[in-house]
Amino acid sequence: MATSERLEDILAQAAAIEGEAFHYDREQIEAEVEREKASIYEGLGIKILAIAGGFLACIFFLGFLAIAGLIESKGGMLILGVMAIGGSLGLNYATNSRMLDGAAIALYISGLVLITFGMEWESGGIVLGFMVIAVASFFLMRNFLMIFFSVLLFFGSMLWYIGSHESVALFYLYLLVASLSYTIVSLSEPGLLSSGPMLNRRFPALRTGLLFSFVAGLVLTMNSEDFLYGMQNHWLGWCIVMISLLAVVHYITDGIGVQTGRRVLFFACLVVVLLPFLYAPAVPGALLVLLLGVHTRYVTGFACGILAFVYFISQFYYDLQLTLLVKSIILMASGALFLAAWYIIRKTLQRDEAV
Partner 1 sequence: MFEKTGIREAIRIVARHSNMSRPGTGGLFKSYDLFAGLREWKSFLDVALLTLGTGFMMAGIIFFFAYNWQDLPKGVKIGMLEAMVIACGCYAVFSRSRPFVRNMVLTAAAILTGALFAVYGQIYQTGADAYDFFFGWAAAILLWAMVASFPALWLLLLLLLNLTLWFYTQQVASDWSTSTIWNALFLLNGIPLVLMEWLHARRRLPPHSGWMLRTVAIAAAVILTSGIVFSIFDSHDGGLIGWVLALIFFPLGIWSSLANRNLFYLALVPLCMIIIISSLIAKGFPDGAAMLLLNSIFIIGSITGLSFQLIRLNREWHGNK
Per the CB < 8 A criterion, the answer to whether 238 and 281 are in contact is yes
Please tell me whether residue 325 binds partner 1 under the rule CB under 8 A: yes
119, 152, 180, 252: which one contacts partner 1 (CB under 8 A)? 252
Please tell me whether residue 3 binds partner 1 under the rule CB under 8 A: yes
C-alpha dihedral sign at 80, 146, 287, 306: negative
Residues 29-48 that bind partner 1 (CB under 8 A): 29, 32-34, 36-43, 45-46, 48
Please tell me whether residue 284 binds partner 1 under the rule CB under 8 A: no
Closest C-alpha among 153, 137, 152, 148 to residue 50: 148
Residues 100-159 that bind partner 1 (CB under 8 A): 100-103, 106
Please tell me whether residue 278 binds partner 1 under the rule CB under 8 A: no
Q: What is the rounded distance in angstroms from the CA atom of residue 348 to the CA atom of residue 354?
A: 10
Q: Mark the segment that binds partner 1 (CB under 8 A) among 77-85, 113-121, 136-144, 295-303.
A: 295-303
Please tell me whether residue 17 binds partner 1 under the rule CB under 8 A: yes
Q: What is the rounded distance in angstroms from the CA atom of residue 241 to the CA atom of residue 129?
A: 29
74, 165, 327, 347: which one contacts partner 1 (CB under 8 A)? 327
Per the CB < 8 A criterion, the answer to whether 3 and 41 are in contact is no
Q: Residue 109 CB, nearest distance to partner 1 (Å)?
A: 12
Q: What is the rounded distance in angstroms from the CA atom of residue 269 to the CA atom of residue 136?
A: 44
Please tell me whether residue 28 binds partner 1 under the rule CB under 8 A: yes
DSSP assignment, residue 354? Answer: H
DSSP assignment, residue 73? Answer: S
- CA 172 to each of CA 150, 175, 261: distance values in angstroms, whole numbers, following the listed order: 22, 5, 33
Q: Residue 238 CB, nearest distance to partner 1 (Å)?
A: 20
Please tell me whether residue 11 binds partner 1 under the rule CB under 8 A: yes
CB-based contacts of 304: which residues, under 8 Å, 6+ apart? Answer: 211, 212, 215, 289, 293
169, 272, 324, 354: which one contacts partner 1 (CB under 8 A)? 324
Which residue's CB is nearer to partner 1, number 110 or number 181?
110
Which residue's CB is nearer to partner 1, number 183 or number 224?
183
72, 97, 226, 321: which one contacts partner 1 (CB under 8 A)? 97
Which residue's CB is nearer to partner 1, number 166 or number 254?
254
